[in-house]
């Protein structure tokens, strides 16, 4: 099966610190890939380079057959890549619905004439958007679906994470990047959220996921394959159990003496 995303010789330097060092990585369509490694190993930097937040210093990125190396964040989003962040990026005073719609501008008519004059069309677009957002929320937590216009400030961390993932999914991306989705949650909340992600993947066979996660139980449970980074380089690749048994991985990440 052909790769949806490929990185070839990808490098990124920050003032002498080599965050990515000639990284080669490929993600097959429809798989869940775990990206693991110690703090500072380059995982989030990889996400930031892929999504246009940082430009690569060297190397090439291919997505769905097109060269997207150093494309803008907007162009990456338009191509079909969405992401979440380790730290919450929700606007707390805004409602659940409004926060999700922040991720849907690719599919919204933003013209002034349409929004001010074509009121029937505007209402139809709103109704369709609301239905799509509500359907996504129902997959994660049916109880939230009746609270779409409540501010997210009153939600517990697990529900905020759910809304962030819904915001990333509302544009119907081909590739979803999840940056430590379990951060700030309890073990039980993490297990619930992973159930949600597996359900989303089951219902959407066209969705590919890369997940950065420190909770190894999560990686073992939901990923098809893992890539382990250390000092910006790939040190191991394969199913979780095989990479966890790798001596380099144990030394770099799993705490071997």
Q: Are 2 and 13 in contact (CB under 8 A)?
A: no
Per residue in 151-182, pLDDT (tens digit) is 999 999 999 999 999 999 999 999 999 999 98
Q: Are 22 and 10 in contact (CB under 8 A)?
A: yes
Q: CATH class for domain 1-80+173-257?
A: alpha beta
> Residue 100: which of 20, 187, 40, 163 has the closest Cα?
163
> Residue 79: which of 14, 24, 4 has the closest Cα?
4
Banded model confidence at residue 122, pLDDT cuts 50, 70, 90: low
Q: Are 58 and 8 in contact (CB under 8 A)?
A: no
**Which pLDDT score, from 0 to 100, does residue 256 have?**
47
d(CA 70, CA 211): 21
For residue 121, give the 3-state DSSP assignment: helix
**What's the mean pLDDT in 119-132?**
72
Q: Which residues, listed in sequence order, are joined to residue 208 by a DSSP beta bridge?
A: 175
Banded model confidence at residue 119, pLDDT cuts 50, 70, 90: low
CA 58 to chain centre: 23
Per residue in 46-74, pLDDT (tens digit) is 999 999 999 999 999 999 999 999 999 99
Most confident of 96-100, 213-217, 252-256: 96-100
For residue 11, give the 3-state DSSP assignment: strand
For residue 42, give the 3-state DSSP assignment: coil
pTM value is 0.89
22 — phi, psi (to 5°)? 65, 40
**Which pLDDT score, from 0 to 100, does residue 72 have?**
95
d(CA 227, CA 216): 13
* More confident site: 147 or 249: 147
CA 159 to chain centre: 16
**Which pLDDT score, from 0 to 100, does residue 127 have?**
79
d(CA 239, CA 224): 6
Q: Are 3 and 39 in contact (CB under 8 A)?
A: no
End-to-end CA distance of the chain: 39
Q: Given the structure tokens 């209402």, which residue do they identify? A: 123
Q: Are 249 and 243 in contact (CB under 8 A)?
A: yes
Domain boundaries, the chain: 1-80+173-257, 92-170
């Amino acid at each position: 099966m052909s790769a949806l995303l490929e990185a070839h010789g990808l490098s990124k330097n920050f003032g002498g610190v080599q965050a990515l060092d000639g990284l080669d990585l490929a993600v097959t369509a429809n798989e869940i890939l775990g990206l693991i490694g110690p703090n500072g190993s380059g995982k989030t930097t990889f996400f930031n380079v892929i999504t246009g937040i940082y430009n690569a210093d060297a190397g090439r990125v291919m997505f769905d057959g097109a060269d997207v190396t150093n494309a803008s964040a907007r162009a990456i989003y338009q191509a079909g890549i969405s992401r979440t962040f380790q730290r919450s990026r929700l606007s707390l005073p805004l409602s659940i619905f409004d926060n999700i719609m922040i991720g849907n501008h690719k599919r919204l008519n933003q013209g002034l004439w349409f929004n001010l004059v074509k009121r029937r069309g505007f209402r139809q677009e709103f109704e369709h958007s609301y239905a799509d957002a509500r359907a996504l929320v129902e997959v994660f937590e049916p109880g939230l679906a009746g609270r779409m216009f409540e501010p997210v400030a009153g939600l517990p961390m697990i529900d905020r994470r759910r809304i962030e993932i819904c915001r990333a999914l509302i544009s119907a991306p081909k590739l979803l990047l999840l940056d430590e989705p379990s951060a700030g949650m309890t073990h039980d909340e993490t297990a619930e959220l992973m159930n949600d992600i597996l359900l989303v993947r089951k219902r959407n066979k066209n969705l590919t996921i890369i997940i950065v996660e420190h909770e190894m139980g999560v990686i073992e449970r939901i990923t098809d394959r893992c890539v382990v980074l250390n000092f910006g380089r790939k040190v191991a690749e394969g199913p979780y159990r095989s990479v966890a048994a790798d001596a380099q991985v144990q030394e770099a990440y799993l705490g071997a003496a």
